[in-house]
Structure 1
């Protein structure tokens, strides 16, 4: 295991982002809280999460039909 001196400078930021993404993905925190957790605004977090492959919209059934109507 690398020592703290060997870790990348942005390791703590990356770890906070990954934690925020996972909690958001599980529905345990909102996108706004997730953004604050990793030092981003809500929209910035949603864009970054989407780029990371995390679905940021969960529409099902009637909600999905209404969205495309």
Structure 2
């Protein structure tokens, strides 16, 4: 899935679920699934935070596969 297929334009300011900084209105962001409180919710994230997090998760999965 390409990043431009899952991004949205912010209508107002949001807080990034990853870094806690403001996602300003008018900018592009990703609504990503974030676990919390026993539920999975969709929270706004900067596109840069999302790609960093996705790369980090991929690296952790690869490391886990090597250890099995």
Which TM-score bucket, shorter chain as reference? under 0.3
User: TM-score, length-normalised on structure 2?
Assistant: 0.27
User: TM-score, length-normalised on structure 1?
Assistant: 0.27
Give the strand-richer structure, 1 or 2. Answer: 2
Higher normalized contact order (CA 8 Å, seq sep 6+, divided by chain length) = 2
Give the helix-richer structure, 1 or 2. Answer: 1
